[in-house]
């Protein structure tokens, strides 16, 4: 029988973290789902293979598969390979250094069992890798919602799909839109979300489904498509600008292909929620360098919108620590991220 859901884990050079990710699936309610690990030709490929083999032996009741790429495809190419090799009707992506919360797989299967669902978005939280303490919860809406297919659904999901763990897509639709055009941008899932949601509905799960561990090393820039844009272990301002430029390039491509007005809707949403683009560099750079970075970022598109400049000058005058405290307090009081503009959802019944 075809699985309803495949848990698709792109793996590269993190055997210990992968072990945790797999462990978070072991306590889930059994059902019509399987697991696929896609190892991307990393230096620690043999260790990763052993982690998968040991986990499979320990949990013979789980349907665990793996494949190892013959060459390093990179983040985007490995996602595409997972979609090609998975058996499930839907694919739930899980980063190899992230985990799933208890009951999350059942919640996702319930969501994709509704008619015409193409993409499932979810709430998630970040924790400190070293201490295990909660850092922040990312909850976008107060309750489960269905987003009817169209440009508004794309704009509501686009930026919120950057963090991939728990994000779920219809596999047949994702394969139909398969392309190498955006390889090396680290944003393939955003392209897929955009294409799929123009034809199929989106579903938002208001419960925390995935957990991101903050503080680990990244390996982006190891593959050929990524080397001109990123470098392993580095988070330079220039790389941040390349990443954000990719968001606007994909939005422009979606507009070019569909003519739905989706570019302006996505651009407005990116402008309204541009604080994280600024804050991460405000934390790291001297004031003058940060100001220069912000002005380069503004020219990519966010600077057209007043919220961008409000965030920028707040960070300059108050500093990241006070701004972060204010934002997290606001989120805690509301129980979700403040809603500015686009939201085309309707309460799920």
pLDDT digits (tens, 9 = 90+) for 268-285: 999 999 999 999 999 999
Answer whether residue 319 shows pLDDT above 90: yes
- At 179-199, the pLDDT tens digits run 999 999 999 999 999 999 999
Beta carbons within 8 Å of 3's beta carbon, 6+ residues apart = 32, 33, 34, 63, 87, 88, 89
Mean pLDDT of 169-183: 98
Is 292 in a helix, a strand, or coil?
Answer: helix
What's the average model confidence in pLDDT over 162-187?
A: 98
Q: Tell me the mean pLDDT in the region 125-130.
A: 93
Residue-level pLDDT at 316: 95
User: Do 169 and 95 meet the contact criterion of CB atoms below 8 Å apart?
Assistant: no
Fold for the domain defined by 5-214:
Spore Coat Polysaccharide Biosynthesis Protein SpsA; Chain A (3.90.550)
Mean pLDDT score of the chain, rounded to an integer? 95
Confidence grade of residue 116 (pLDDT, cut at 50, 70, 90): very high
% of the chain residues with pLDDT over 90: 89
Q: What is the pLDDT of residue 349?
A: 61
Q: What is the pTM of this model?
A: 0.95
CB 125 within 8 Å of CB 208: yes
Check whether 201 has a pLDDT greater than 70: yes
Domain limits, the chain: 5-214, 237-341
pLDDT band per the 50, 70, 90 thresholds, residue 79 = very high
- 129 exposed, middle or buried (CB, 10 Å; 0-12, 13-18, 19+)? middle
Residues 188-211, mean pLDDT to the nearest whole number: 98
d(CA 29, CA 280): 38
């Amino acid at each position: 029988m075809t699985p309803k859901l495949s848990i698709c884990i792109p793996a590269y050079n993190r055997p210990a973290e992968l072990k945790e990710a797999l462990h978070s699936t072991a306590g889930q309610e059994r059902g019509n789902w399987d697991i696929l690990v896609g190892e991307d030709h990393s230096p620690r490929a043999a260790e990763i293979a052993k982690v998968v083999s040991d986990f499979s032996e320990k949990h013979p009741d789980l349907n665990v598969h793996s494949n190892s790429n013959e060459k390093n495809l990179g983040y985007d190419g490995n996602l595409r390979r997972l979609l090609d090799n998975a058996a499930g009707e839907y694919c739930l992506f899980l980063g190899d250094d992230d985990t799933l919360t208890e009951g999350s797989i059942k919640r996702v299967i319930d969501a994709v069992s509704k008619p015409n669902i193409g993409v499932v978005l979810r709430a998630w939280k970040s924790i400190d890798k070293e201490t295990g303490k909660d850092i922040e919860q990312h909850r976008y809406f107060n309750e489960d919602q269905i987003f009817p297919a169209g440009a508004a659904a794309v704009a509501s999901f686009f930026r919120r799909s950057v963090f991939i763990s728990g994000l779920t897509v219809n596999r047949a639709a994702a394969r139909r839109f398969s392309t190498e055009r955006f390889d090396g941008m680290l944003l393939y899932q955003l392209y897929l979300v955009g294409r799929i949601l123009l034809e199929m509905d989106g579903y938002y799960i208001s419960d925390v489904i995935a957990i991101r561990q903050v503080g680990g090393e990244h390996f982006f820039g190891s593959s050929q498509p990524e080397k001109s844009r990123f470098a392993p272990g580095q988070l330079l301002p220039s790389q941040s600008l390349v990443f954000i430029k990719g968001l606007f390039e994909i939005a422009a491509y979606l507009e070019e292909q569909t003519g739905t007005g989706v570019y302006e809707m996505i651009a407005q949403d990116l402008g309204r929620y541009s604080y994280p683009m600024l804050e991460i560099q405000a934390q790291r750079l001297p004031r003058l360098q940060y100001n220069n970075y912000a002005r380069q970022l503004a020219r990519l598109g966010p600077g057209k919108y007043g919220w961008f400049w409000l965030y920028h000058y707040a960070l300059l005058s108050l500093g990241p620590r006070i701004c972060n405290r204010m934002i997290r307090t606001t989120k805690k009081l509301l129980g979700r991220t403040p809603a500015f503009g686009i939201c085309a959802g309707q309460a799920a019944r």
